[in-house]
Amino acid sequence: MAHAQTQPEGAFVTLPEGRIHAIIRGQGPDLVMIHGANGNARDFSFDLIDRMAGDFRVIALDRPGFGFSDDFGGPEGPVEQADILRAAVAQLDVDRPIVLGHSYGGAVALAWALRAEGDVAGLTLLAPASHPWPGDLGLWYRISASALGQYVVLPLVARLAPASAVESTLEGVFAPNPVPDGYLDHLGRDLTLRASQLSLNAQQVNSLKAYVDGMAAGYSALTLPIEVVHGTADETVGMTIHSERLEQDVESANLTRLDGVGHMPHHARPDAVAQAILRTAKRAGLIR
């Protein structure tokens, strides 16, 4: 049903375990983009891909189980997802890409670098989920990741959630910045509310803390260029808990703080994000 309404923008890379959907535009050094929780690559094709396609070959990926990518058995952690995406872009002859990750995708990008730093030119991280946080994620994620949530609550949400509830949730993610006109329709309301994606997203977000706790010990060994962009008003992934700690842990990490920006800096301040990508490429020696 969801795939019948919103159509793929890109091509499919076939691996033994399934297919990964990739939106590919432009020419130049390779720039791989990884979306955040319960999103898809269309988050980037709303603006950022075209903004960068004049300088890079941009490859925006649907993570396994999201958008139009197959679920590969529902990989739960960032490392497993990074391995799948690395295998996918290898079939596209990607050579030492800059890997950009937003939010949950930032954890996947960091996992990619931890697994194969020599194969990555640099990272550009947007409001990345990089470190364990105090406390838990709250009642909704505990319920949605439980058997009751997986088999009863989330299927009902997928079928019955009113448009106003979806829009309200999205406004909370973007706050205090506005949701761009036409964004939800472009992203694919039908994809966002697909029961299988909601279920996988709940499992992944609910288990993320343990994964980044294990990953964080390896950050100090990273030496590749890392540009981090984070809004000071982000209440979804707190800058002090994540990006500021990453800047402290990694000597090569440079943090750009965007005053008054929430969790979606690539929409609120796309110019600043574009500059961060270009800085990553210059530091990596990919462009002058």
pLDDT of residue 193: 79
Please tell me the pTM assigned to this model: 0.92
Domain 2-283 matching CATH 3.40.50.1820: the answer reads: yes
| Angle subtended by helix axes 195-215 and 78-90, to nearest 10 | 100
Query: Which pLDDT band, with edges at 50, 70 and 90, does 144 fall under?
Result: low
pLDDT of residue 2: 45
pLDDT of residue 162: 56
Quick count: other Cβ atoms within 10 Å of Cβ 147? 7
Query: Which pLDDT band, with edges at 50, 70 and 90, does 140 fall under?
Result: low
Distances from the Cα of 12 to the Cαs of 22, 60, 196, 243, in angstroms? 6, 12, 20, 33
Q: Per the structure block, which two tokens stand in for 159?
A: 């079928």
Query: Which pLDDT band, with edges at 50, 70 and 90, does 1 fall under?
Result: very low
pLDDT of residue 46: 97
Rounded CA Rg of the chain: 17
Buried b / exposed e over 9-33, threshold 16 CB at 10 Å, is: bbebbebeebbbbbbbbbeebbbbb
Query: Which pLDDT band, with edges at 50, 70 and 90, does 21 fall under?
Result: very high
Domain locations in the chain as residue ranges: 2-283
Quick check: 159 pLDDT over 80? no
Give the residue from 100, 99, 109, 41 showing the smallest Cα distance to 78. 109
pLDDT digits (tens, 9 = 90+) for 178-232: 999 999 999 988 888 788 888 888 889 888 999 999 999 999 999 999 999 999 9
pLDDT digits (tens, 9 = 90+) for 87-139: 999 999 998 999 999 999 999 999 999 999 999 999 999 999 999 998 776 65
- The predicted model gives 67-95 an average pLDDT of 94
pLDDT digits (tens, 9 = 90+) for 246-274: 999 999 999 999 999 999 999 999 999 99
Cα–Cα dist 67/188, whole Å = 9
Q: Percentage of the chain with pLDDT > 70?
A: 88
Quick check: 168 pLDDT over 70? yes
pLDDT of residue 153: 47
- What lies within 8 Å, CB to CB, of 18 at 6+ separation is 64, 69, 70, 71, 72
pLDDT of residue 192: 83
